[in-house]
Amino acid sequence: MSTEHNKTQREKMFGGVGKSIEQSEKVLSPVLGRLNLFKKYQPADTNDWKSQVQEVTQSQKPIQARVILYVIVVLFICLIIWAGFAKVDEITRGEGKVIPSQQMQVIQSVDGGVVEKVYVQEGEHVKKGDLLIRIDPTRFTSNLNEVNAKIFALQTKVRRLSAQLNGSGYTSGSVPAGVSPDAAANIMAQESQYYAESLRELSQRTMTNQGTVSTRQQESQRAQAALGQAERAYQLAVRELNTTRPLLKTGAVSEMDILRLERDVSNADGERKQAAANLRATQASIGEAQSRTSEAAVSLKNQWRNELAEAQAQLVSLKESISGVADRVKTTDIRSPTNGIVQKIFFNTIGGVVKPSDQVAEIVPLDGQLIVEAKVSPKDIAFVRPDLPAVIKFTAYDFSIYGGMNAKVKHISPDTFTDEKGNMFYIVRAVTDKPTFGKGLSVIPGMTVQLDIMTGKKTILSYLLKPILKAKNNALTER
């Protein structure tokens, strides 16, 4: 059995050698034929090998073999041409994680207070405006109601003073929210009383001065009558003197009578002038009384104007301050400023005391674009630059099923960093084109990713020839 096996092995070996010699003969026979050397050195038993090779060759189908060979050659040439034009992406890869697009949101209590209720738990997703913690608003609400009451009182006072100055009817107006009905009723009743008293005071002052004017007018009338009487007495005395004076020459009257008549004329003239002076005095007093009447009304209205200006100034000041008081009430409801995840709650106890500016919660923002921070080796950083396209592959989602997210390089650290193992790397940040990944697939800060940065393109042929060219450049250069 072993003998037959050895024989078979020898036949195969000699058959292969014969085939090789035949092929060599076909190539070298023209040359050796000219030199007449092939036959000289050809072994005697080569003819047997050649005959066996010819039998094998004749038993095959040379046409089909040539066709297959040509097809293989054509395919190989086409493959080389395709490899020379087809391009693939050059990718720089880095490992990293998702980081928040905004800084960690630290939620603080502005004015502090007592915790009334906690609405969220750590790890819970919240939306912008969601209520996180409520501080007991009693203290701030009381202050707000007090300020509202003061504002209502001043508004009522302003309306009352305006009505007094304009002479129009007074209405208290509607009661604003935050003012108790009892307090509003007291304010309106008090202002109505002030309105009635002010009008009564104005009326009394006017009536008093009008009485004085009336008295002075009566005195003026009496002075006018006295002046008329004195004027008539003077005219009569003058007429009597003029009539009697010629009788002195005839001796009908004595000189003493003339002197008496002249004295009467002088007295009448003095009384006439005194009456005229009294009339002027009474007329002047009438003007003064009328002026005092007007001044009394003006003085009272000026007092009201001053009170109105002061009330309006106080009202403006209170309206400016009420926004701060109302804001204190509003800030007792501590709400989320952004969409995110509650990282930590610092006060979980109902009735806990929160001091002003104390931190009450931390929220990791989820708004805006996703930012990936990846570590890239220094040997791969040369062709990485801002605005290069990139693909983010989340390790939590199978890339073959869910795919990746398109992104752009936005930042490259100016220098390398070193981790605890001594590895050096650059920090590269990429920003996504959209803030979400797929439908119903959440992406949260801290997820690990692979960042593929497209640094360029190259042909498949250059990729295949790269080891050969590298070996060529480095060949025979060793010491």
pLDDT tens digits, 396-438 = 888 888 888 889 999 999 999 998 888 999 999 998 877 667 6
All residues at 6 or more sequence positions from 98 whose CB lies less than 8 Å from its CB, including other chains: 370, 371, 372, 443, 444, 445, 446, 447, 449
348 and 408: one domain?
no
SS3 content of the chain, % helix, strand, coil (to 5): 55, 20, 25
- Say if residues 275 and 223 touch (Cβ distance below 8 Å): yes
What is the spatial distance between Cα 363 and Cα 360, in angstroms, rounded to a whole number? 10
Q: Are residues 125 and 166 in the same domain?
A: no
Query: What is the share, in percent, of the chain residues with pLDDT greater than 70?
Result: 74
> Domain check: are 221 and 185 in the same one?
yes
Domain holding 201: CATH number? 1.20.1270
Note the pLDDT of residue 413: 92
Which range is least confidently modeled, 369-383, 425-439, 441-455? 425-439
- Residue 98 three-state SS: strand
* Residues 302 and 156 occupy one common structural domain: yes
47 has pLDDT over 60: no
pLDDT for 98-155, tens place per residue? 887 767 788 888 888 888 888 888 888 888 889 888 888 877 777 888 888 888 888 8
Specify whether 236 is located in the same domain as 209.
yes
| Distance of alpha carbon 200 from alpha carbon 213, whole angstroms | 20
Q: What is the pLDDT of residues 290-344, one digit of tens each?
A: 666 666 677 777 887 888 888 888 888 888 887 777 777 788 888 888 888 888 8
DSSP E strands: which ranges in 139-273?
A: none
What is the rounded average pLDDT for all residues in the chain? 76
Residue 179, pLDDT score:
75
CA dist list (Å): 46 to 6, 20, 25, 40: 21, 12, 11, 12
In a domain, 120, yes or no: yes
Pair 30, 148 in one domain: no
Instruction: Find out whether 388 and 455 touch, Cβ atoms under 8 Å.
Output: yes
- 147 shares its domain with 124: no
pLDDT at 374 over 90: yes
> Can you say whether residue 73 is alpha, beta or left, with left for phi > 0 and alpha for psi between -120 and 50 degrees?
alpha
Give the pLDDT of residue 85: 81
> Domain ends where: 270, 305, 330?
330
Place 375 in a pLDDT band, splitting at 50, 70 and 90.
very high
Residues contacting 57, CB < 8 A, separation 6+: none
Residues listed for the chain: 479
Model confidence pLDDT, tens digit, residues 243-284: 777 777 777 777 787 777 778 777 777 777 777 777 777 766
Q: In what order do the strands lie in the sheet with 333-335?
A: 333-335, 131-135, 113-118, 353-354
- Same domain for 350 and 256, yes or no, is no
User: Do 50 and 93 reside in the same domain of the chain?
Assistant: no
Last residue of a domain, one of 330, 353, 387: 330
pLDDT in tens, 213-239: 667 667 767 767 777 777 777 777 777
Mean pLDDT of 361-366: 83
Per-residue pLDDT, 435? 66
Smallest CA-to-CA distance from 133 within 323, 341, 359, 340 is with: 359
In single-letter form, the type of residue at position 120 comes to V
Q: Which SS3 state, helix, strand or coil, does residue 134 take?
A: strand
**Do the domain assignments include residue 415?**
yes
Q: Residue 63 domain-assigned?
A: yes
64 assigned to some structural domain: yes
Tell me the mean pLDDT in the region 85-97.
Answer: 85
> Considering only 27-41, 138-152, 442-456, which range has the smallest mean pLDDT?
27-41
Residue range of the domain that includes 154: 140-330
Element (H, E) at 265: helix 255-330
Angstrom distances, CA of residue 39 to CA of 20, 197, 203, 444, 465: 17, 154, 160, 85, 45
Tally of domains in the chain: 4
* pLDDT exceeds 80 at position 439: no
Q: Judge contact between 347 and 133, C-beta under 8 A.
A: yes
Q: How far is CA 215 from CA 2, 114, 255, 286, 370, in A?
A: 169, 74, 47, 8, 95
Residue 55 backbone dihedrals phi, psi, to 5 degrees: -60, -45
Is the pLDDT assigned to residue 33 strictly greater than 60?
no
**3-state DSSP call for residue 477?**
coil
**CATH code: domain of residue 435:** 2.40.30.170
Q: Please indicate, yes or no, whether residues 158 and 260 belong to a single structural domain of this protein.
A: yes
Residue with tokens 């292969």: 16
Whole-number pLDDT of residue 449: 93
pLDDT for 373: 92
Please tell me whether the overall predicted TM-score, pTM, comes out greater than 0.75 for this model.
no
Residues 200-218 pLDDT 10s: 777 666 666 556 666 766 7
Give the whole-angstrom CA distance, residue 43 versus residue 18.
Answer: 11
Question: What CATH number does residue 131 fall under?
Answer: 2.40.50.100
Please indicate, yes or no, whether residues 18 and 119 belong to a single structural domain of this protein: no
pLDDT of residue 430: 92
Higher-pLDDT residue of 140, 381: 381
Does residue 479 lie within any of the structural domains?
no
* Residue 312 sits in the same domain as residue 428: no
Q: What percent of the chain has pLDDT over 90?
A: 10
Contact criterion met (CB below 8 Å) for 174 and 156: no
CA distance 366 to 125: 9
Specify if 286 maps to a domain: yes
- C-alpha to C-alpha distances, 166 to 193, 296, 304, nearest whole angstrom: 18, 17, 11
| Side-chain half-sphere CA neighbours of 215 within 13 A | 9
